[in-house]
Amino acid sequence: MNTADLGLPVDVPSTALFTDHYELTMLQAALKAGTAERRSVFEVFTRRLPEGRRYGVVAGTGRVLDAVENFRFDPGVLGFLREHSIVDAETLDWLAGYRFGGDVWGYQEGEVYFPGSPIMRVEGTFAECVLLETVILSILNHDSAIAAAASRMSSAAGGRPLIEMGARRTHELAAVAASRAAYVGGFTSTSDLAAGFRYGIPTVGTSAHAFTLLHDRERDAFQAQVDSLGRDTTLLVDTYDVAEAVRTAVEIAGPELGAVRIDSGDLLLVAHRVRQQLDELGATNTRIIVTSDLDEYAIASLAAAPVDAYGVGTQLVTGSGHPTCSMVYKLVARAESADPTDPLVPVAKKSSGGKTSVGGRKWAARRLDEHGVAEAEVVGTGPVPDDLRERQLLVPLVEDGRVLSREPLDVVRERHVRARANLPLSATQLSRGEAVIPTEYV
């Protein structure tokens, strides 16, 4: 099944109202002033990484492309705007025919980024570009935050599988996006069926404590699960006494028992005890899965434990303490008239408080050292130096309003693995620090 054909997993007629009120009032004022059709360039970037993070992860690009394609003001949406007098009649007429007809360039999904990286560049008229600000930021800020947390967790896991289990800890639609972003960042499966349906992410799941408590005896619950799902199932062993549960699980399923899950207690200590017990019972191939409010630090602390996989929920879907990336969408260049041949003039906000920005339509490239390790993020507005031409990071995503291509998530996952591997080793350290490479402006 081609999941790209499913459309957006939201029960709304379009993405046009996934925006802030002031986007439309700016549009109305620009139409009245005659400036709406000026050629403009907007860029998405962040001024800083979340505290303690060494790199960011670009995620949500595919969802942005869906949102841009579905940004349509249909009769129902226009009726809402008219009924509430949000914009005037002239603006409503203009919105009725809205189709984004510009260009979008961006870092490829799964790539890493740093402060000042022009993660996405949107070009077209002021009117058509300004309307996309909120929805683009909404997607990129959320998905990139989750992917960054997932990347740190997958690095800490050292190759052990990670299961995304956060659907019950966030909004039902955010859960689907979070699962997608987690997969980009290195998770291997999800418990969320909507994410599996929408994006083809492998889904897993067996039983919760409620299933054990349903039965008169823990043995009865285990027997029912093995009878239904087979010996390769995963049995939850911490409802009552862990040691007794492990003994019972192996008695019922035999040494072919697939896995046991531990969801409470001192996971390091319990995992060692369970591994020893399983081995003594002959279940040497039975895996141990641990859950229970894990984050990257807890996962790292279990590196020496006999754990085969981790299930992560709350900390993942909340960005492990950083639920947004603080990305902004700023006008960086515009023409002085509606004449499409007019040259672009750099513009930038100048204010105190660290909210300044750099004007001009930018390119970005990553400079590598003699060992092929990234040493700087180079951002410029002039000609690209010859030695960086093959290292440019922005690629065309939309041309004249047409999405150029969509990538399978497995391609995006593999890209992230390569991008992270090309960073200095300190990038994956969990100790707090600044961006692992500097951003240089030329």
Identify the DSSP state of 425.
G
Query: In the structure, what pLDDT confidence band is assigned to residue 420 with cuts at 50, 70 and 90?
Result: very high
Domains assigned to the chain:
20-133+330-359+395-441 (3.20.140.10), 206-295 (3.20.20.70)
pLDDT over threshold 70, residue 6: no
pLDDT over threshold 70, residue 379: yes
Hey, is 415 helix, strand or coil? helix
pLDDT over threshold 60, residue 13: no
> What is the predicted pLDDT for the residue at 353?
67
Among 277-281, 396-400, 431-435, whose mean pLDDT is lowest? 431-435
What percentage of the chain exceeds 90 in pLDDT?
93
DSSP 11-41: SSS-STTSS-HHHHHHHHHHHHHT-TTSEEE
Q: What is the pTM of this model?
A: 0.94
> What is the predicted pLDDT for the residue at 349?
83
Mean pLDDT score, 202-227: 98
C-alpha closest to that of 139 among 117, 109, 115, 105: 109
Identify the DSSP state of 309.
E
The crossing angle, in degrees rounded to 10, of helices 133-157 and 409-421 is 60
> What is the predicted pLDDT for the residue at 342?
94
Give me the residue label for tokens 């083809």. Answer: 200
pLDDT over threshold 90, residue 236: yes
How does 171-198 read in b/e, with b if 16+ C-beta sit within 10 Å? Answer: eeebbbbbbbbbbbbbbbbbbbebbbeb
How does 424-434 read in b/e, with b if 16+ C-beta sit within 10 Å? Answer: beebbebeeee
Cα 95 to Cα 92: distance, rounded to the nearest angstrom:
5
Mean pLDDT taken over the chain: 95
How does 102-120 read in b/e, with b if 16+ C-beta sit within 10 Å? Answer: bbbbbbbbbbbbbbbbbbb
pLDDT over threshold 50, residue 2: no
* Residue 427 and residue 54 in contact, taking contact as beta carbons nearer than 8 Å: yes
Query: In the structure, what pLDDT confidence band is assigned to residue 436 with cuts at 50, 70 and 90?
Result: very high
pLDDT over threshold 50, residue 210: yes
What percentage of the chain exceeds 70 in pLDDT?
96
> What is the predicted pLDDT for the residue at 356?
77
Cα 38 to Cα 354: distance, rounded to the nearest angstrom:
28
Give the pLDDT confidence of 108-118 residue by residue, as tens digits: 999 999 999 99
